[in-house]
Amino acid sequence: MPYLRDTVESVLPQLTPDMELIVRNNGSTDGTAAYLESLSDSRIRVIHCTETVSAGENWSAVCRLATGSFTKVLCADDTVLPGGLDRQLKAAFEHPDAALVASRRRVIDETGRVIIRRHGLPGLTGTRNGAAATKDAIMKGNNPFGEPSSTLFRTDALLLELPFTEEFPYLTDLDMYVKVLRHGSFVGLDTVDATFRLSSTSWSSSIGASQLGQFRAWVAKLLEHGELSLTRQERALLRVRVTAMFAARRVATLLTPALAVLRR
């Protein structure tokens, strides 16, 4: 709370009778439980947990409860924009070999003001095989697929790769995208289908100080295990891009409060 209500209300109008919304209350003590108990929609399943676990553990636990052919992970302060779920599912059905579908997202601040209207998937729209999508994404120097709200997993591929690992916490989602793409192709949509909330209190902001080092170590691990192949020139280019991209992200995070004040 207070964002959870917007998150849930963004999903419910898009659910058909054979879809489900599973909410795992990760030990919240801020009114979340009372709000969830007030919901009477039969498509909602609520799991209350008294012990708070990490984001990766929470995502893994709730994904293991999913029974549908496709799974979307949605954090409690993000939303699915109208029609977004339908567009992603349509793409998934049109490409049965797709293991991951992603869309662009809208970045908003703590108050809901729009910071960036169209963000993500630079040069990654269309379809490509999993290995090509992985390399293209990594060469961007950040996570161009976007946060979980921007993506849709094929459930069988996701279950094969659970749990979400947190060896590199900032890359918990990107690491899973790469693993899932071992099992199929990628579809990138040019539509804006979700929002991602950027705030000083969000989990993604709190781990920002070590993001650059984590990305470098993660890429090094992929190279070491033969899951990624880069030429010497590509490695040099990636080092430059990673440094530049994370510097820009840090500046954007720091400027968000100031931008909100200016808009007032």
pLDDT of 250 > 80? The answer is no
pTM, entire model: 0.90
Q: In 3-state terms, the chain is what percent helix, strand and coil (to 5)?
A: 45, 20, 35
Least confident interval from 61-65, 93-97, 121-125, 258-262: 258-262
CA distance 48 to 154: 26
Tokens for 122, please give them. 């630079």
Task: Find out whether 99 and 111 touch, Cβ atoms under 8 Å.
Answer: no
Give the pLDDT of residue 212.
Answer: 86
Mean pLDDT computed over 124-148: 95
Task: Produce one character per residue of 95-133: b if its CB has 16 or more CB atoms within 10 Å, e if not.
Answer: beebbbbbbbbbbbbbeeeebeeebbbeebbebbebbeb
Mean pLDDT computed over 110-135: 95
pLDDT single digits (tens) 53-95: 999 999 999 999 999 999 999 999 999 999 999 999 999 999 9
Split at pLDDT 50, 70, 90, the class of 205 is low
Split at pLDDT 50, 70, 90, the class of 258 is low
Give the pLDDT of residue 188.
Answer: 98
Give the pLDDT of residue 162.
Answer: 98
Name the more confident of 212 and 117.
117
Give the pLDDT of residue 264.
Answer: 46
